[in-house]
Amino acid sequence: MQKQQTIIEESLKALMEDESFLPDLQAQTREQAFKSLVALLSTPNHIHKSFLRVSLDDNTIVRIPAFRVQHSDTVGPYKGGVRFHESVNEGEVSNLAKLMTLKNALHELPFGGGKGGVVIKPQEYNIRELNLICKKYVQYFDDILGPDKDIPAPDVGTGEREMDWMMGEFKNIHPGQPYRNSFTGKSVVNGGSLGRREATGKGVYFTFRYMMHNFLNENKKWLSETDNVFANTALTHHDRKLSVAVQGFGNLGSVAALEAYQCDYLQNKIVAVSDHNVMLYNNDGLDIPALIKFTEESDGELPTTEEELEEHEVKAEIRERDELLELDCDVLLLAALEDQIHEENMDRIQASMIIEGANGPITEDADRYLADKGVLIVPDILANAGGVIVSYYEWIQGREAQFMTEDQVYERLFDKMKYTMDTILPQFFGDPFPLRQNCYIHSVMKLSTIMYRQGKLY
Ligand SMILES: NC(=O)c1ccc[n+]([C@@H]2O[C@H](COP(=O)([O-])OP(=O)(O)OC[C@H]3O[C@@H](n4cnc5c(N)ncnc54)[C@H](O)[C@@H]3O)[C@@H](O)[C@H]2O)c1
């Protein structure tokens, strides 16, 4: 995630060299503004850390490290998920909080950026203990959370069950006060939004489909006349069958894979999917609905034996999990974890286009290496905002106590993502920066302008 910092600084530098950006600033003050903005955007406003005191069922008491990082409230209340995972640490949570600030600014949501984390392996705790951990999280961070202060949501290891529990605890602690919007990603009966669970996966595929179908169709002429290397990559893959490999078949990966499988606009063939155990491969295309059905009955796991495949009439070869990244395919859709493509494997990546469903799945070195080769990377900040966009709709629906249908939610989600794409794509295909850099420039420009106008640079 070091690349975040590098790209923020490069984006600010590019902006400061452009005289139409904050034209009131003269040369010397531009230099000072640059330094101030680097400092303000690089560091979080607050890092809150606690050790949750939890009494386990075997009567031992444990102290579990927990974090809430509030990166920036420039645009609105802090907003970002709470992750339950054994690898959670302060640096990771801080980087993810920063990414939320940039993502919310890019998609013009009225939120700042935050993130939380608890250092546990959820599978090692029973349901009562997990419930207690959620309640303790709210008790320990109670004074900094709230519908207009900091609004957590699900992340890796948490879901609507945990958000319901946390909101319930928030309500207990604040009787008579508004509580419904203190958390998003809740179950529908508790004020959650229809469509929230599928929103990120649908949004991830939508960004790709919109770029490769709608945008290319409308802009083919001028794109074919530019010498932009990424325009060339996109056009080379336009209007032909695309082979797609999906890493990670959880909430995000399975929904995005299904969207790709069912897409009426692009002809996709999903040649491979993987989870933490296995990769399944079929050069003629996998039956994604059958695999989703399997995972619904197997606690989310893909089939790992020939018998399981046969029983569910899925035709696939069982292969080593990590071979997926190096397959000869057109598109890699990364929907598992951070840092999956790195210095060790970057030169063996064969896909020409990569969609980042997960946050930060490509390291800084690999990102540069692939961009230099003309690989078109649709970055996390652009592609995986569907969850936070629908969280925003959940927040509005909770305030107004008026609820949208699932179709209305998706219509507004796609409109919002289309708006962002229409802002970014013409600029991207018109200059030499990778798409990630273009998105960062847009976010940094918005955040810097607001900070300047709010008098934060003095
Ligand atoms: N779900 C959301 O709304 C959302 C929003 C933004 C970002 N993300 C990011 O997307 C990623 C996936 O999120 P999710 O909600 O689908 O999580 P999930 O836990 O539902 O699914 C993760 C999947 O990845 C698989 N996996 C784990 N390690 C793997 C490996 N080494 N190789 C291949 N597969 C592996 C798991 O088996 C599982 O299928 C995370 O990085 C998350 O931060 C999710």
Ligand 1 centroid from CA 156, angstroms = 7
Query: 382: Cβ below 6 Å to ligand 1?
Result: no
Q: How far is CA 424 from CA 4, 210, 219, 326, in A?
A: 18, 12, 14, 29
What SS3 class is residue 67?
A: strand
Give domain status of residue 399, yes or no.
no
With tokens 């303790």, the residue in question is 136
Binding residues for substrate: 79, 103, 391
Instruction: Specify whether 82 is located in the same domain as 114.
Output: yes
Instruction: Specify whether 277 is located in the same domain as 170.
Output: no
Instruction: Specify whether 147 is located in the same domain as 219.
Output: no
What values do phi and psi take at 382, rounded to 5?
Answer: -90, -45
Give domain status of residue 446, yes or no.
no
Q: What is the ipTM of this complex?
A: 0.98
What CATH number is associated with residue 264?
3.40.50.720
Query: 387: Cβ below 6 Å to ligand 1?
Result: yes
Query: 397: Cβ below 6 Å to ligand 1?
Result: no
Q: How far apart are CA 395 and CA 392, in angstroms?
A: 5
Instruction: Specify whether 355 is located in the same domain as 321.
Output: yes
Domain's final residue, options 135, 164, 192? 192
**Nearest protein CA to atom 18 of ligand 1, as residue:** 250
What SS3 class is residue 81?
A: strand
What CATH number is associated with residue 63?
3.40.50.10860
* Sequential pLDDT tens for the chain (458 residues): 667 888 999 999 989 888 888 888 877 788 888 999 999 999 999 999 999 999 999 999 999 999 999 999 999 999 999 999 999 999 999 999 999 999 999 999 999 999 999 999 999 999 999 999 999 999 999 999 999 999 999 999 999 999 999 999 999 999 999 999 999 999 999 999 999 999 999 999 999 999 999 999 999 999 999 999 999 999 999 989 999 999 999 999 999 999 999 999 999 999 999 999 999 999 999 999 999 999 999 989 999 999 999 999 999 999 999 999 999 999 999 999 899 999 999 999 999 999 999 999 999 999 999 999 999 999 999 999 999 999 999 999 988 888 999 999 999 999 999 999 999 999 999 887 899 999 999 999 999 999 999 998 88
Q: How far is CA 90 from CA 5, 65, 116, in A?
A: 16, 10, 9
Give domain status of residue 382, yes or no.
yes
Q: How far apart are CA 282 and CA 273, in angstroms?
A: 9
Task: Give the residue numbers spanning the domain of 111.
Answer: 49-192
**Nearest protein CA to atom 11 of ligand 1, as residue:** 358
Of these residues, 3, 98, 115, 186, which one is catalytic? 115
**Nearest protein CA to atom 21 of ligand 1, as residue:** 250
With tokens 């210095």, the residue in question is 343
Query: 335: Cβ below 6 Å to ligand 1?
Result: yes
Instruction: Specify whether 238 is located in the same domain as 338.
Output: yes
Radius of gyration of the chain (CA): 22
Query: 158: Cβ below 6 Å to ligand 1?
Result: no
Q: How far apart are CA 216 and CA 219, in angstroms?
A: 5
Measured from the Cα of 199, ligand 1's closest atom is: 3
What SS3 class is residue 388?
A: helix
Instruction: Specify whether 280 is located in the same domain as 328.
Output: yes
Give domain status of residue 287, yes or no.
yes
Binding residues for NAD(+): 200, 251
Instruction: Specify whether 166 is located in the same domain as 295.
Output: no
Measured from the Cα of 252, ligand 1's closest atom is: 16
Instruction: Specify whether 180 is located in the same domain as 291.
Output: no
According to the model, what pLDDT value does residue 400 have?
85
The side-by-side arrangement of strands in the sheet containing 279-281 is 317-319, 279-281, 268-274, 242-247, 331-334, 353-356, 376-378
Q: How far apart are CA 361 and CA 379, in angstroms?
A: 9
Domain count, the chain: 2
Residue of 259, 276, 318 best suited for mutating to test ligand 1, as the one with most atoms within 8 Å of CB: 276
Query: 201: Cβ below 6 Å to ligand 1?
Result: no
Q: What's at 122, amino acid-wise?
A: P
Domain's final residue, options 192, 213, 236? 192
Structure token digits, residue 269: 């063939």
Query: 72: Cβ below 6 Å to ligand 1?
Result: no
State the helix-helix crossing angle for 160-173 and 127-141, rounded to 10 degrees.
50
Give domain status of residue 322, yes or no.
yes
Ligand 1 centroid from CA 337, angstroms = 6
Give domain status of residue 351, yes or no.
yes
**Nearest protein CA to atom 30 of ligand 1, as residue:** 276
Measured from the Cα of 357, ligand 1's closest atom is: 10
What SS3 class is residue 317?
A: strand
DSSP 141-157: HGGG-BTTTEEEEE-TT
Residue of 275, 279, 340, 388 best suited for mutating to test ligand 1, as the one with most atoms within 8 Å of CB: 275
Measured from the Cα of 337, ligand 1's closest atom is: 41
According to the model, what pLDDT value does residue 339 have?
94
Q: Strand locations in 234-379, DSSP E?
A: 242-247, 268-274, 279-281, 317-319, 331-334, 353-356, 376-378
Query: 95: Cβ below 6 Å to ligand 1?
Result: no
Instruction: Specify whether 143 is located in the same domain as 170.
Output: yes
Give domain status of residue 22, yes or no.
no
Maximum alpha-carbon separation in the chain: 71
Instruction: Specify whether 66 is located in the same domain as 125.
Output: yes
Instruction: Specify whether 140 is located in the same domain as 213.
Output: no
Ligand 1 centroid from CA 338, angstroms = 9
Given phi > 0 = left and psi -120 to 50 = alpha, else beta, which region is 176?
left
Residue 115 falls in the annotated catalytic set: yes
Query: 321: Cβ below 6 Å to ligand 1?
Result: yes
Please count the other Cβ atoms lying within 10 Å of the Cβ belonging to residue 334.
Answer: 30
Please count the other Cβ atoms lying within 10 Å of the Cβ belonging to residue 229.
Answer: 15
Closest CA to 133 of 147, 145, 123, 118: 118
Measured from the Cα of 384, ligand 1's closest atom is: 6
Give domain status of residue 290, yes or no.
yes
According to the model, what pLDDT value does residue 401 have?
84
Instruction: Specify whether 350 is located in the same domain as 247.
Output: yes
